[in-house]
């Protein structure tokens, strides 16, 4: 007896058809103007087309696509996960508009880095190609619902614990030395006052004003001050657990619950640097910092919304930031410089593609102490500035520029201002480059 198949298996998709679909995607506005996003999809698709998709992992993508080096640690640097999320969102948007009539679909399944090629769903129902997968909404009271509630509570508990450790009233951070991260002696010139001091340097992290999302059980007073925004007006949150779990989005003003992700990652760079030299630092949010303590310490002001910047530092002689205008002004531009440095945005997506940041080193109120300012116009610039002064390459470039700017071209100035340019892609900063330096006479 012949076997009868009610649903015949579809013909396999040819490699040529897959490559053609990939070319259409890469030529779209969602990928053509994003080199790293494009390279990510090309690299992973190439492995998938060669039957080597099982070899793809977060470390391989980080090293090969984002040039993070062999010491890349996915647990410390989330760039691959961030980019994968952005690519899933871009693919979904592409197939809802420009590519809605394409014969194939390219998906990046959750938790995987090998793209999946499927046929588009036709009007007759054949050649099924499900949309980019979303986690199913469980009915209230079901085992699945209870499962996700437990996971959500655990995640929230871990997040609260991490924030509590980071932003307690006063804390001392110490780590075991990491020899691989230790700066060579010649490259410690910027940090010697901070490393050699008997008292622990103080890092003051900016506390940005924000609207905090209300979740769970809130005080009645908090709820009374909340601003509700319909979910339909916040499609950017559609892929978050908050969108699935919360009945509505309500926000309350806060300056205590938030610091930018760039400030947090910048702080991580500083922690790693100091730990590699066996040093300890103290960390405080700007709203809890003490004026006298800041003045009497070797202090690092981290973040553009730091309320202490203008109170502790002398008036800027050369570069100054305007929060109202969102730019950095150059009081005395030279031949190859601009009078105003404004951030740049992608005209199609509106995403930030270029930020600027300042590095300012000056004597503190106690003359033997130093105060270092690290901040960008946006949080990405702050992160890049902290990474710049924590790296051998950045310190080497800055050292060379400052020697050239000094009077005798031999003596390294102790006080200076430096302006950095920071490329940004998919909200992640790239390597900063030095735009200009100014020596400040003490």
Output 155 or 370, whichever has higher pLDDT. Answer: 370
What is d(CA 332, CA 382) in angstroms, rounded to the nearest whole number? 24
Helix (H, G, I), strand (E, B) or coil at 114: coil
| Predicted pLDDT at 314 | 61
Specify whether the CB–CB gap between 214 and 245 falls below 8 A: no
E-strand ranges in 223-381 read: 227-229, 249-254, 281-285, 299-302, 319-322, 327-330, 340-341, 344-345, 352-363, 370-376
What is d(CA 231, CA 238) in angstroms, rounded to the nearest whole number? 8
E-strand ranges in 226-279 read: 227-229, 249-254
Specify whether the CB–CB gap between 267 and 231 falls below 8 A: no
What is d(CA 431, CA 442) in angstroms, rounded to the nearest whole number? 31
| Predicted pLDDT at 10 | 59
| Predicted pLDDT at 216 | 65
26-30, 75-79, 125-129, 433-437: least confident range: 125-129
| Predicted pLDDT at 64 | 86
| Predicted pLDDT at 182 | 63
Question: Considering only CA atoms, which of 311, 268, 286 is closest in space to residue 207?
Answer: 286
What is d(CA 141, CA 12) in angstroms, rounded to the nearest whole number? 42
88's tokens: 């899933």
Backbone dihedral angles phi then psi of residue 309, each to the nearest 5 degrees = -55, -55
Q: Between vectors from CA 434 to CA 356 and to CA 332, what angle results, nearest 5°?
A: 75
- The answer on pLDDT for 305 being more than 90 is no
Specify whether the CB–CB gap between 322 and 342 falls below 8 A: no
Complete DSSP assignment for 143-199:
HHHHHHHHHHHHHHHHHHHHHHHHSSSSEEE-----GGGPPPGGGGTTTHHHHH-SS
- The answer on pLDDT for 135 being more than 50 is no
| Predicted pLDDT at 250 | 85
- The answer on pLDDT for 176 being more than 60 is no
Specify whether the CB–CB gap between 19 and 75 falls below 8 A: no
Average per-residue pLDDT for the chain = 79
| Neighbouring-strand partners of residue 440 | none
Percent of the chain whose predicted confidence (pLDDT) is above 90: 21
Q: Tell me which range, 68-82, 171-185, 273-287, is most confidently predicted by mean pLDDT.
A: 273-287
Say how many residues make up the chain.
442
- The answer on pLDDT for 146 being more than 60 is no
| Neighbouring-strand partners of residue 299 | 202, 371
| Predicted pLDDT at 155 | 45
List CB contacts of 81: < 8 A, sequence separation 6 or more. 58, 74
Give pLDDT tens digits for 215-240. 766 677 777 778 888 888 888 787 77
Specify whether the CB–CB gap between 319 and 417 falls below 8 A: yes
Backbone dihedral angles phi then psi of residue 232, each to the nearest 5 degrees = -60, -20
Within a 10 A sphere around the Cβ of 3, how many other Cβ atoms? 4
- The answer on pLDDT for 122 being more than 60 is no
**Mean predicted confidence (pLDDT) in 4-31:** 77
101-115, 125-139, 331-345, 420-434: least confident range: 125-139
Output 363 or 223, whichever has higher pLDDT. Answer: 363
- The answer on pLDDT for 32 being more than 50 is yes
Q: Within 13 Å, how many C-alpha atoms sit on residue 13's CB side?
A: 18
Give pLDDT tens digits for 382-438. 999 999 999 989 999 999 999 999 888 888 888 899 999 999 988 889 889 999 999
E-strand ranges in 224-348 read: 227-229, 249-254, 281-285, 299-302, 319-322, 327-330, 340-341, 344-345
């Amino acid at each position: 007896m012949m076997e009868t198949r009610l649903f015949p298996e579809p013909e396999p998709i040819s490699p040529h058809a897959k490559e053609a679909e990939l070319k259409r995607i890469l030529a779209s506005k969602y990928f053509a103007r994003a080199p790293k996003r494009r390279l990510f999809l090309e690299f992973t698709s190439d492995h998938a087309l060669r039957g080597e998709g099982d070899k793809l992992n977060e470390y391989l993508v980080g090293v090969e696509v984002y040039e993070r080096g062999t010491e890349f640690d996915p647990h410390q640097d989330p760039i691959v996960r961030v980019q994968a999320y952005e690519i899933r969102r871009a693919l979904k948007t592409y197939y809802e508009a420009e590519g809605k009539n394409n014969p194939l679909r390219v998906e990046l399944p959750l938790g995987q880095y090998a793209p999946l090629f499927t046929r588009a769903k036709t009007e007759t129902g054949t050649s099924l190609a499900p949309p980019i997968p979303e986690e199913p909404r469980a009915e209230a009271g079901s085992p699945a619902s209870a499962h996700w509630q437990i996971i959500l509570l655990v995640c929230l508990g871990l997040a609260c614990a991490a924030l509590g450790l980071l932003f307690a009233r006063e804390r001392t951070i110490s780590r075991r030395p990491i020899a691989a991260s230790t700066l060579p002696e010649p490259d410690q010139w910027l940090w010697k006052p901070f490393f050699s001091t008997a008292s622990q340097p103080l890092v003051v992290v900016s506390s940005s004003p924000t609207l905090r999302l209300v979740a769970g059980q809130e005080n009645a007073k908090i709820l009374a001050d909340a601003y509700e925004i319909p979910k339909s007006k916040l499609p950017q949150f559609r892929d978050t657990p908050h969108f699935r779990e919360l009945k509505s989005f309500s926000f309350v003003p806060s300056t205590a619950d938030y610091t930018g992700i760039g400030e947090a990652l910048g702080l991580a760079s500083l922690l790693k640097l100091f730990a590699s030299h066996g040093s300890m630092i103290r960390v405080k949010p700007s709203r809890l910092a003490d004026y006298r303590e800041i003045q009497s310490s070797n202090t690092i002001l981290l973040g553009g919304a730091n309320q202490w910047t203008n109170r502790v530092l002398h008036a800027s002689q050369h570069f100054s930031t305007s929060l109202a205008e969102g730019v950095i002004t150059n009081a005395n531009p030279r031949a190859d410089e601009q009078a105003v440095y404004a951030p740049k945005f992608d005209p199609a997506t509106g995403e930030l593609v270029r930020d600027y940041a300042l590095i300012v080193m000056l004597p503190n109120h106690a003359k033997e102490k130093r105060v270092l300012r690290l901040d960008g116009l946006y949080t990405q610039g702050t992160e890049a500035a902290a990474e710049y002064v924590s790296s051998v390459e950045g310190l080497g470039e800055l050292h060379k520029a400052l020697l050239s700017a000094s009077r005798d071209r031999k003596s390294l100035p102790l006080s200076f201002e430096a302006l950095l340019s920071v490329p940004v892609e998919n909200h992640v900063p790239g390597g900063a480059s030095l735009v200009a330096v100014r020596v400040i006479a003490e």
